[in-house]
Chain A
């Protein structure tokens, strides 16, 4: 009994066509469902960013979608920068590109796209961006080949990966909340001390004023 063919069946006959279409990224026939599309303005840059922790795999794939003239696709330039300003990926005059890196510092990672100077038409450009981080960027095909698992077992292994990511995120959120709480409590204590101190200073100054004025009036024989 072929356990691997749990989902295969009907898909096997049109799958090669689908794969070819995915690889050629021709949106006229069948758009690839795994990415979001952005519109690049005719002038200026369009940037997307994400706040990522350190030691996370990031996989990016971008491609120009132009249904108006498929034989003369406009080109774009792309740049990916780390939170410290390091250039992680730079591409010019391209219709598609890929980048992959592991984050070394946590912070805001920015991917910017802009139209090339050679195509100065006033039309907007559609760009498909496939941005995967962490568990979504994992290469499950190689895991399946290496450990010789397939079908339902592979799916369950992926779900296990997702659950582990969820647990990791939960611990991260809890730690951040603990930090925030400590900062809040420290600030609260400081504010309390400051207000008590300022109140004390006010009372002291007013007592001093009363004592001085009393002494002055007594001296001048007004009281």
Chain B
């Protein structure tokens, strides 16, 4: 009875600790500044993701400077920043655990829709292996495999968002040219 109870909790623990960090890709409309927060459980976790501006308005005005993207650590420092871009990928190691802030800044007043995806990945280190005797080296390999699959999924989400943006913008210039 004791062992079955422990096994059940172990399974639930497995779900929560190993799969508790995946976020689905969402879109948000940015008029001036929009921030999204994500909690990072362990120091040294890899925070990866991408964002794409899906509004086709950005193509009409070529003098649009693009969107600024900044990541702020719990201590208030800017960990990562990208300026004047219409979409990019990012990856960095979290210097500490805590609540991270991901902000999109739109310098123009026209609202832009941004599709973003953020993933926090944790791979057990040798330190974790030494601390917990129930953690096998196989868990490290499984975690690495899972992170590799997550990176493929992230890449696919990026391609899908970019495809959506091009789909919105591609047909109009052709027909405008055809009419002229």
A: which residues have CB within 8 A of B? 2, 4-12, 15-16, 18-19, 22, 31-39, 46-51, 108, 126, 131-133, 136, 140-141, 144, 150-152, 154-156, 158-159, 162-163, 165-166, 169-170, 172-173, 176-177, 180, 183-184, 187-188, 190-191, 194
B: interface residue count bin = 35 or more
Q: State whether the Cβ of B13 lies closer than 8 Å to any Cβ in chain A.
A: yes
A76–B138 Cα distance when bound, in Å, is 44
Residues of chain A within 8 A (CB-CB) of B9 are 8, 11-12, 15-16
List 22 interface pairs A-B (beta carbons < 8 Å), by A numbering. Answer: A4-B7, A6-B134, A7-B134, A7-B139, A18-B13, A32-B20, A38-B28, A48-B26, A48-B28, A50-B24, A140-B15, A152-B138, A154-B14, A156-B142, A159-B145, A162-B153, A163-B149, A169-B160, A170-B156, A177-B163, A187-B171, A191-B178
Contacts A8-B9, A15-B9, A19-B16 aside, 10 further interface pairs with beta carbons under 8 A come to: A4-B7, A15-B12, A34-B19, A38-B37, A47-B29, A49-B28, A51-B160, A155-B14, A183-B171, A190-B178
Q: State whether the Cβ of B132 lies closer than 8 Å to any Cβ in chain A.
A: yes
How many whole Å from A164's CB to the nearest CB in chain B?
11
Q: Which residue of B lies closest to A170 (CB)?
A: B156
**Which of B30-65 touch A at CB < 8 Å?**
35-41
Residues of chain A within 8 A (CB-CB) of B177 are 191
A18–B11 Cα distance when bound, in Å, is 14
B6 touches A22 (CB 8 A): no
Q: Which residue of B lies closest to A35 (CB)?
A: B23
A208–B175 Cα distance when bound, in Å, is 30
How many whole Å from B171's CB to the nearest CB in chain A?
7
Q: Among the listed B12, B26, B171, which residue makes an inter-chain contact with A19, where contact means beta carbons less than 8 Å apart?
A: B12
**Which of B128-180 touch A at CB < 8 Å?**
131-136, 138-139, 142, 145-146, 149-150, 152-153, 156, 159-160, 163-164, 166-167, 170-171, 174-175, 177-178
B: which residues have CB within 8 A of A? 3, 6-7, 9-29, 35-41, 99, 113, 115, 118, 120, 131-136, 138-139, 142, 145-146, 149-150, 152-153, 156, 159-160, 163-164, 166-167, 170-171, 174-175, 177-178
Interface residues of A, dominant DSSP: helix
How many whole Å from B34's CB to the nearest CB in chain A?
8
A162-B153, A183-B171 known; A15-B22 Cβ under 8 A: no
A50–B114 Cα distance when bound, in Å, is 10
A7-B10, A155-B14 known; A50-B27 Cβ under 8 A: yes
Residues of chain B within 8 A (CB-CB) of A50 are 24-27, 115
A10-B132, A22-B16, A169-B160 known; A131-B10 Cβ under 8 A: no
B26 touches A131 (CB 8 A): yes
Q: Which residue of B lies closest to A18 (CB)?
A: B16
Residues of chain A within 8 A (CB-CB) of B15 are 140-141
Residues of chain A within 8 A (CB-CB) of B7 are 2, 4-5, 8, 150
